[in-house]
Structure 1
Amino acid sequence: MTVRGVRGATTVELDEAQIVHDATEALVIEMANANKVAPEDIVSVIISTTTDIASAFPAKAVRSIKGWKYVPVMCTHEMNVIDAMPFCIRILMHINTDATQKEIQHIYQKDAVKLRPDLQK
């Protein structure tokens, strides 16, 4: 087994705590399912948001998922780049896996699919 990074991103319509929580939870669950990863296989999760998201800690959403309480999670803000996609949540999940880097399934939802069209199936 080796450690691999799984990338994911999603967007929210507006900065409200429940919306941020729901979007984060949906994204991490899809990332884990697509890569056949259980919480105990996750080394860590780093979540960044654009600076227009300030209503909630997305890490709290991850820790509240059943079985994810002990997954190490950290939040931060993205650089405030001119013309960057607004209301965006990005995730880098480090996992223990036998999958090759090419086999990793990166997940982009909603408007965030525009960030990495080369990874869309």
Structure 2
Amino acid sequence: MIRGIRGATTVETNDSEELVSRSHELIADMVHQNNVKAEDVASVLFTVTEDLNATFPAKSVRKLEGWTYVPVMCMREIPVPDSLGKCVRVMMTVNTSSKQNEIEHIYHQGATVLRPDLKS
């Protein structure tokens, strides 16, 4: 079965090192909490809010051992008025036997306000 795993985090500043570091923490947690293996990943999509442009957060995936060939892409989030700023969102599409309600969606830092109904 193909499932989507969601995640999001925020950064303090538009800094390339912080963007990659926070994105890596998020991706690593998503992988760990959902027992994901690189060969089971179809793709990983990142979006960033319009106030983030220092680097591509998808670079964080390359820090994971064995993830060299996983397709990744970055896009800009829709600039909805009063939405959460300095935010990196992730959609990881994976092949898994987990049921929909067994997927652990991960929200770090200030992004926990996006889905208070999901504990991560």
**TM-score range normalised by the length of the shorter chain:** over 0.9
For normalisation by structure 2, the TM-score amounts to 0.96
Matches within 5 A, 1:1-121: 2-120=1-119
Shift of 1:64: 3.3
Question: Matched residues, percent identical?
Answer: 44
Segments ≥4 residues shifted beyond 3 Å = none
| TM-superposition CA deviations, 1:89-115 (whole Å, max 9, x none) | 000000110000010000000110000
Letter of the aligned partner of 1:23 in structure 2? Answer: R
Structure 1, unpaired ranges of 5+: none
| CA RMSD of superposed structures (Å) | 0.9
Structure 2, unpaired ranges of 5+: none
When the two structures are aligned, how many residues end up with a matched partner?
A: 120
